Structure 1
Amino acid sequence: MIPQTKNWLRANGDRPVAAKPFSSLSSYKAIKHHQTLAKTLGIPNPFYRSTEGMADKLTLIDGKPVLNFAWCDYLGLSQHPEMIAAANEATSRFGTTLSASRMVSGDTPMHRELEAEIARTIGVEAALVFVSGHAANVSTIGTLMNSDDLIVHDEFVHNSAVVGMRLSGAETRSFKHNRLDALENILRTERAKYRNVMVVIEGLYSTEGDLPDLARIVELKERYGAWLMVDDAHGCGVLGATGRGLAEHCGVDGAKVDIWMGTLSKAYASCGGYIAGNTELIDLLRYAAPGFVFSVGLPPAMTASALTALRIVQREPERVQRLHNNSKMFLEGAHARGLDTGRAAGIAMLPIMVGLTGRAAKTVARVLERGVNASFIMYPGVPMNAARLRFFLSSELTEAEINLALDVTKEELGR
């Protein structure tokens, strides 16, 4: 026992002192405050609903069938027979888990096939698959950057990127959403002070539904000697004529971006995340990224289903076109009904802006009662008093289903 501890115990009569309960934490108190307020206002909890059916455009919540706009099954692959067969076959062949890090216990040929397929799809040299997209962002930023470096990011980048920045110890600067003049000003005035600079943006912004000007950002990062990282979690499989992501959508060579991040859990209907780029980047992460080196590898079933999904999308680009058509139909229908979709470009994810948190919470509960399941997005996920309903679109939705969702939302917002 160290001397300071002995002296402290003597001063307190050698009596043990209980640690404070978790309920004393400010974050716990804030959660309880919101729950109490919602109960007082008669608003049911919009989070952690139990979904009793498959993740499809139709699912069961509390035993009731609903139209499901709260899942990211953009291309309708979650129930595809080839996906289910691939997952079952991989489990039969390799078991349910790798049980340890791929670095020490090895992997399967499917893991390497999947990584090669991802790299080919984006147009880069190599890729590395993590067990989650969150871990991929945290580990990559935390590995590449340190206290001698600067990270410049859009104000709306995902929490996983923010956590990675904190882990890295690098200096950070944010710029207003998609305000590239502000980005350029930071790069021009700050670049010379740091060893390395990384710019972090998203492809399809997950709460706004809009896109960055990738060509201009590439030009800026090349002019000022920075690395560019694009979180294309909602863009991969969705953006571009064949779903290859933000680069295809913007007509930019994928190799112009230093670091691509994406998920396998949305358009590709599996689980996990990836980082893609040149061989040097992937070699470094393979041996140094904690979220890869010290974490179990992606389970065989998820690996096989993700690989199958990538190949289905390449074989059936009409799925991407149907998604784009449905998204345009939703956007135009929302505008025709006087609904505010904010900055949304009208691809895959569209918000209906509400404003006050209580009003948005009541609306999402009412539309669910009428058979439409949308997501409730509030502060701190979005700015204060900018609450909204978020609708994830699918290639498998019909015109009638889209119109029903819009009509119900319009009516309930008008109550």
Structure 2
Amino acid sequence: MDELPASRMARERKAALLQRMRGVSAMEGRAGLSAGAQDRPVPRFEDLPEYRQIRMQELAGELVKIDNPFYRTHDIGAGARTEIGGRSIANFASYDYLGANRHPSVHARVRDALDRYGLSASASRVVAGERPVHRELEARLADTYGVEDAVVFVSGYLTNVTTLGTILGPEDLVIHDEFIHNSALAGIKLSGAARRFFRHNDTAHLEELLLDFSGKFRRILVIVEGVYSMDGDLADLPRLVELRTRYGFWLMVDEAHALGVLGPGGRGTHEHFGMDPACVDIWMGTLSKTTSSCGGYIAGSEALTTILKGAAGGFVYSVGLAPALAAGALASLDLLALEPERVARLRNNGRLFLDLARQAGLDTGLSEGHSVVPVIVGDSLRAVRLSNDLLAAGVNVLPIIHPAVPEGQARLRFFITSEHDEDQIRETVALTARLLGDLVRDNFGLNAIDPTQIARLLSGT
């Protein structure tokens, strides 16, 4: 049977509309395919420099018979203590700053949410994934920061990437601390904005850049971290706010390691410095540290959160945060409010660890003894060996090595929690100093490896 004229016309209109949406004619499309059609070898992932870098590190460890310290499997929920390979050991590799991860009240709220809402939001919140607990959590976060609203995302990393990719464009400039998190760098790249960095915590250098670039871009955004995740020192918020008033830029503060850590009530950087939180345009944080869940958040003005909920790809086109995870984060914030003594214990433990480490001659870098205390070892291979030696002695702490930090700045990164006790801290610091001293005495490190051996192993000869 011949196609009805009305049906044929509808089909043709649809085809024409699709062509306009694609922005290219069928003839141009065919011509492009023909021009590009030729046999080419498929690229090999093995040839990527990132793969060769990882393999070089693995082979260096194999040459000196050092086990890979990463991806250690924990047999229980890790806190101040954990179980690895059937052994109960002290744990300094957990973000669970206030011990909420295994707290009964948090677990009860998670179970209730699981029973009521199921495991997943099952859709983007825009479509069908909205649950009351999402808005409850966002309201609580907004109240914590004393701002108009907040929005939560399914990933902390994604929070930075999609926020920066949404609010910035090629006509804008981002100036960030040189130690800013990789997720912020990825978001800046996605946005197409110009990028400059200032020397770590050097607000004089920041002002020099502001003087150079003010008036040359549509908007300027400055990004810092409340507590720096690799070094454990703080952004100079009072000075940053002063510069914001003078130069008229947006200020963004990453609170991933500051919420639950800074300030008498654990509300973060603004409480620590006694400042009006409205002086910061974008408060960003993660839900995987103090709030013992998973995801991230942005807190700020109603206009900001409205833009993100309507235009941020990582929100609009991503499944909503699992209701049970939202409930767990909300319960953790309740715990923070009800038991501020946890913040005080964390503060005391961090100060004790830092003081003992310095007394033992360990290099703690820039740390101010809040939630993160690095012990800088220098040599990447030595840092890996020290981590393994500590594990054998009953302490779990992970190394941070090149390329995450520059070669010569490799370290062990100790995360301090409110649940560590004084004996754990004293024993761990003494053990770290003794084992590191042994490695220094034996001159153990990368200089013990012949680079030609690694090259031969990489080439298979």
TM-score of the aligned structures, taking structure 2 as reference length: 0.87
Q: Could you tell me which of 407, 417, 421 is aligned with 1:384?
A: 407
CA shift at 1:20, angstroms?
Answer: 2.1
1:335 corresponds to 2:358: yes
Q: Aligned partners of 1:271, 1:45: CA distance in 2, in Å?
A: 26
Q: Which amino acid aligns with 1:254?
A: P
Q: Aligned partners of 1:236, 1:291: CA distance in 2, in Å?
A: 23
Residue 220 of structure 1: aligned partner:
243
* Residues 197/81 of structure 1: CA separation in 2 closer, same or farther (3 Å cut): same
Q: Which amino acid aligns with 1:33?
A: M
Alignment check: 8 A CA contact 2:166 2:191 kept: yes
Q: Which amino acid aligns with 2:322?
A: P
Q: Could you tell me which of 246, 264, 279 is aligned with 2:287?
A: 264
Residue 338 of structure 2: aligned partner:
315
Q: Superposed, which structure 2 residues align to 1:95-134 within 5 Å?
A: 95-134=118-157
TM-score of the aligned structures, taking structure 1 as reference length: 0.96
Q: Which runs of 5+ in 1 are unaligned?
A: none
Residue 187 of structure 2: aligned partner:
164
Residue 136 of structure 1: aligned partner:
159
Q: Aligned partners of 1:392, 1:8: CA distance in 2, in Å?
A: 53
What SS class does the counterpart of residue 113 from structure 2 fall into? helix
Residue 405 of structure 1: aligned partner:
428
What SS class does the counterpart of residue 177 from structure 1 fall into? coil
**378-387 or 295-304: bigger deviation:** 378-387
Runs (4 or more) in structure 1 with deviation over 3 Å come to 1-9
Residue 442 of structure 2: aligned partner:
none
Q: Which amino acid aligns with 1:61?
A: I
1:357 corresponds to 2:373: no
Q: Aligned partners of 1:146, 1:29: CA distance in 2, in Å?
A: 34
Residue 305 of structure 2: aligned partner:
282
Q: Aligned partners of 2:35, 2:402: CA distance in 1, in Å?
A: 46
Alignment check: 8 A CA contact 2:122 2:129 kept: no
CA shift at 1:3, angstroms?
Answer: 4.6
Alignment check: 8 A CA contact 1:213 1:250 kept: no
Superposed CA offset, 1:343-388 (max 9, x none):
0011011001111111111111101110101121112222221000
* Residues 218/8 of structure 1: CA separation in 2 closer, same or farther (3 Å cut): closer
Q: Aligned partners of 1:110, 1:7: CA distance in 2, in Å?
A: 54
Alignment root-mean-square deviation, CA: 1.3
1:62 corresponds to 2:62: no
Residue 152 of structure 1: aligned partner:
175
Alignment check: 8 A CA contact 2:397 2:414 kept: yes
Superposed CA offset, 1:319-365 (max 9, x none):
00000000111011111111111100110110011111111111111
Tell me how many residue pairs correspond in the alignment: 410
Percentage of pairs with the same residue: 48
1:366 corresponds to 2:366: no
Q: Could you tell me which of 252, 256, 270 is aligned with 1:229?
A: 252
1:396 corresponds to 2:419: yes
Q: Could you tell me which of 31, 41, 63 is aligned with 2:64?
A: 41
Q: Aligned partners of 2:433, 2:185: CA distance in 1, in Å?
A: 35
Residue 200 of structure 1: aligned partner:
223
Q: Which amino acid aligns with 1:271?
A: C
Residue 183 of structure 1: aligned partner:
206
Q: Could you tell me which of 256, 261, 270 is aligned with 1:247?
A: 270
What SS class does the counterpart of residue 299 from structure 2 fall into? strand
What SS class does the counterpart of residue 82 from structure 1 fall into? helix
CA shift at 1:77, angstroms?
Answer: 0.8
Q: Could you tell me which of 85, 104, 107 is aligned with 2:108?
A: 85
Q: Aligned partners of 2:352, 2:411: CA distance in 1, in Å?
A: 19
CA shift at 1:18, angstroms?
Answer: 4.4
Superposed CA offset, 1:374-415 (max 9, x none):
121112222221000010011011110001111110111011
Q: Aligned partners of 1:6, 1:129: CA distance in 2, in Å?
A: 46
What SS class does the counterpart of residue 215 from structure 2 fall into? helix
* Residues 225/365 of structure 1: CA separation in 2 closer, same or farther (3 Å cut): same
Alignment check: 8 A CA contact 1:327 1:393 kept: yes
Alignment check: 8 A CA contact 2:121 2:321 kept: yes
Superposed CA offset, 1:168-223 (max 9, x none):
10001101100000000101110110000000000100000000110110110121
Alignment check: 8 A CA contact 2:100 2:292 kept: yes
